[in-house]
Structures are given as C-alpha cells and as structure tokens.
Amino acid sequence: MGSSHNSFSVFQFLVYGVFLTFGANSLQIETETESNFPSSMEVVRDEQPPPTEAMVAAADDRTTQQEPSRVVCFGEILVDFVPLVGGLPIFDEPGFKAGAGGAPANVAVGICKLGTPAAFIGKLGDDEFGYALANVLKENGVETRGVRFDARAHTGLAFISLRSDGERTFIFYRNPSADMLIVPEELDHDLITNAKIFHYGSISLIAEPSKSTHLEAIKIAKEAGVLLSYDPNLRLQLWPSPEEARKEIMSIWSEANIIKVSADEVRFLIATSSTASFASSDAADNNSKAFKVEYEGVELLTSSSDHDAKSWRPNLMLLLVTDGPHGCHYFTPKFKGTVATLKVQVVDTTGAGDAFVAGLLTKLVQDVSLLEDEKRLREAVRFANACGAITVTRRGAIPALPDTEAVLNLLREIAITD
C-alpha cells in the first residue's frame, strides 16, 4: 500500500509532542495544547497547517469511477496502528504501522480490489489523518463522493495488539470521532439508490447523530429495492453495555437480506457461552439437524428439517456464520450447509471477516440468482473463504486484502493438493 501504511514509533510520538499517559481507566494520548474536544483521546494542534495538494485532491475530486458503484458501504473508517512485532504487551511494542481500517471501508476496498466498483459513505476528521484515509480509498478505486469531512472532531484511531496466534485486541480513540457525527442531510441519495447492494455494520448505531443517519440510509436503500447486507462486526468495548449492544444490533436485524456473523457473535447475541451447532459438518447432509436460534423472542434464524418457508425470517435471503476452523455455515430458506476453512499460516486476523464479506458480495452482485443454486452458492462461499485466508497471512487490514488473481491462485493450489 506504500503511502497508506507508514511506520509510527513511540519515538515519533515524543518528537511530535504527543505523550502517552495512563489514567485509572484509560490510556490517553494528549498534546501540550488545550482543547475543548470531549474525548478520552486528544490530539490537538494550535493551528491546522495549510492543505496539501493531496488533501485538496481528496476533498474536491471525489469521483474515481466511470461505472456506477454496484456496492455501497456505509459506516466507519479510521486509522489502524498495527504493531511492528506482535505478541508483546502494547506498550512494549517498538513501533506501529499506520494504515486504513474500519470494517465498512475495508469491505469497499476489498470489493474494488476484486474488480467490482464500490463506494464508501462516511465522515472523516478535517485533519491529516482524514485526508490520508480519503486518498487511500481513492488509490484503491473506491468512489468517495459520499465522504464528508468535519472540523469538530478528529478522525478515529485504533491501536491493535496482536497475540502470538494472530488474534488481536483493539484500543479505540473515538469519543467522539468524526464518523459518529454524520447527519442524514449529508447522505448521497443517488449513490445509495443506484447501488445493487448496500452494506453496513453496527458501530454507527452506538451514538447520535450517526444512528439516525444509518437508519435513514437503510430506509433509502430499502425503498429503492437495493439489497441490504449486514455484518454487525461486534466491538463490545465501544458500546455502553452488552445489553445495549444486543438491543441495537438486533434492532435492524430484520431489515437485512444478507447477514454475515461470527459464531462468537451469535453466542453473544443469544446471551450464552455454550457451544452451538449451526449446521452439519457433513456438507452433503444438509437436513440432518433442525435448529432455532433466538434472542429475547426475536429469532436470529430459524430452520427445520424440511426447511419450512413459513418459519424463515421474511427479508432474510442468506445468513452466513463464520466459525473459525469449523468453516463457514450458510443458511437460506431452501438449504443449509458448511464450507470448509482453508488452512493457511495465520499472521494477523485483522480484516479477515471484511475480506470474506468483500468476496461474497463481489460474487452476489455479479449474479444474485446464485442464492437459489446451492452448488454455486458454495463456490461463492469458498471464494470468500479464500479472500479471508489470504488476508490472515499478511499484517494489517486494507494492505492485506487480496485481488482476484491471488484468490484464484490460492484456490488452484488447494485444488492441486486436495
């Protein structure tokens, strides 16, 4: 990614007058200047420098595609600080690489890398991080005319701590960040209504005004007949409480046509730590188990041995449950099954779910009728699995997202060894 992924060390924090201080409840990043910005994270300058040519380009020339965006992604975009080493306590890391992140933005970039036009709608801070992120989107072919800038809040930041097995934890600075301040009047209606798929998460439901904007965007897309794709992408530490997270995530569940959720997220949504069986491990035996998963009387999904259409949620066309080494379980009103995980050496799991969603939506937007054909759906899920598998072999989110050639090469290699 070059310019979008730069080294950032603790030494540079000190050189630029940014100091790390530990409070009783949070890690704060503060500067020597004062600010009225009400956040646990403050990075403030007395005066903004004049915009560079790159900043002007990001703000003023946002149309990057000739073909209308077929997938439009709405939500957060932020700066990910990825550790240079990993497997260490975050304060012992020798440095970090700054790169673009945020699940909806990752999905938009992933789709473009796979050769399908995509757009992003969201808000960035009127700061150097914000303009840099906008340029990352443009450099990767994402339509950015739906991006807005706000001088009242900074661009969100996330520090990532990597365990030795590649799993990660996050420390966020976004209270508020600019993405939380997008208002309904800033939505690009034409961008949404001309799309085939409108994709979103749940992070923008945490606070106003982004919550109302999110709900309005869903309404616009639904009224235009655009397919709704939902990946809750649970980040529990950002929510006021687990109960609030469950309530808000479920509040828009019934609207979606396509839902991707992890097995851990399903267990969280139904408020249980017990192991759940989502589908038969034998892909050929799709009717061996009946199940019903619900939260406070609201069904996440329902299936039965005969796939009774009356028991299926009315808007839901496809639900995908990613289940780590156990594969990806898929459910439609007509069939269900599991596609095996592709075995690779895991380096960093950041962005893997977003890569999976990008791969799946790329296939769906080409031909939504594959939802009626189990063989073709399984092929699409396998393609999406490969997208995720490649991503975990590299560090970072957007820099790790694969193009179509890389995905097809992996699938060919696996076919040869199978």
Q: Residue 72 phi/psi, 5° resolution? A: -115, 125
Does 356 lie in the same domain as 285? Answer: yes
Residues 81 and 123 in one domain: yes
Q: How confident is the model at residue 358 (pLDDT cuts 50, 70, 90)?
A: very high
What's the confidence (pLDDT) of residue 27? 32
| Structural domain total, the chain | 2
Instruction: Read off the pLDDT band of 299 (50, 70, 90).
Output: low
Q: pTM of the entire structure?
A: 0.79
In this predicted structure, the answer to whether residue 271 has a pLDDT above a threshold of 80 is: no
- The two three-digit tokens of residue 47, written as one number: 């005066």
Are 42 and 52 in the same domain? Answer: no
Higher pLDDT, 143 or 312: 143
Inside any domain, residue 165: yes
Domain with 24, as residue range(s), is 16-47
pLDDT at position 66 is: 53
Confidence class for position 32, pLDDT limits 50, 70, 90 = very low
**Shared domain check, 39 and 55:** no
Beta carbons of 103 and 354 less than 8 angstroms apart: yes
> Torsions phi, psi of 330, nearest 5?
-120, 145
DSSP reduced 3-state for 18: strand
Whether 26 and 129 share a structural domain: no
Amino acid found at 254: S
Query: Which residues touch 95 (CB under 8 Å, ≥6 apart)?
Result: 7, 8, 9, 10, 11, 12, 83, 84
Tell me: do 395 and 248 sit in the same domain.
yes
Q: Are residue 88 and residue 38 in the same domain, yes or no?
A: no
End-to-end, the C-alpha distance of the chain in Å comes to: 33
What's residue 300's pLDDT? Answer: 57
Q: What angle do CA 408, 397, 228 make, to 5 degrees?
A: 75
CATH number of 314's domain: 3.40.1190.20
Span 105-120, mean pLDDT? 97
Angle subtended at Cα 77 by Cα 69 and Cα 323, rounded to the nearest 5 degrees: 85
200: CB partners within 8 A, 6+ apart: 73, 74, 75, 104, 214, 217, 218, 228, 229, 230, 231
Residue 2's pLDDT band, with cuts at 50, 70 and 90, is: very low
Cα separation, 195 vs 107, in Å, equals 15
20 and 93 both lie in a single domain: no
User: Which residue reads 């970039």 in tokens?
Assistant: 109
Letter for the amino acid at 6?
Answer: N
Asked if residue 358 belongs to a domain, the reply is yes
Q: What is the mean pLDDT of residues 22-31?
A: 29
- Positive or negative, the CA dihedral 240, 20, 100, 392 is negative
Report the DSSP pairing between strands 6-9 and 78-83.
Answer: unpaired
The model's confidence at residue 415, banded by pLDDT at 50, 70 and 90, is confident
Mean pLDDT of 43-49: 39
Same domain, 253 and 368: yes
Considering 26-35, 36-45, 60-69, 397-406, the range whose residues carry the highest mean pLDDT is 397-406
Q: What is the mean pLDDT of the chain?
A: 79
Strands 258-262, 227-230: pairing kind = parallel
Best mean pLDDT range from 171-180, 262-271, 282-291: 171-180
Note whether 28 and 89 are same-domain residues: no
Weakest-pLDDT range from 17-26, 114-123, 313-322: 17-26
Task: Round to whole Å and give the CA distance between 181 and 140.
Answer: 25
Find the range with the poorest average confidence among 147-156, 183-192, 239-248, 330-339: 330-339
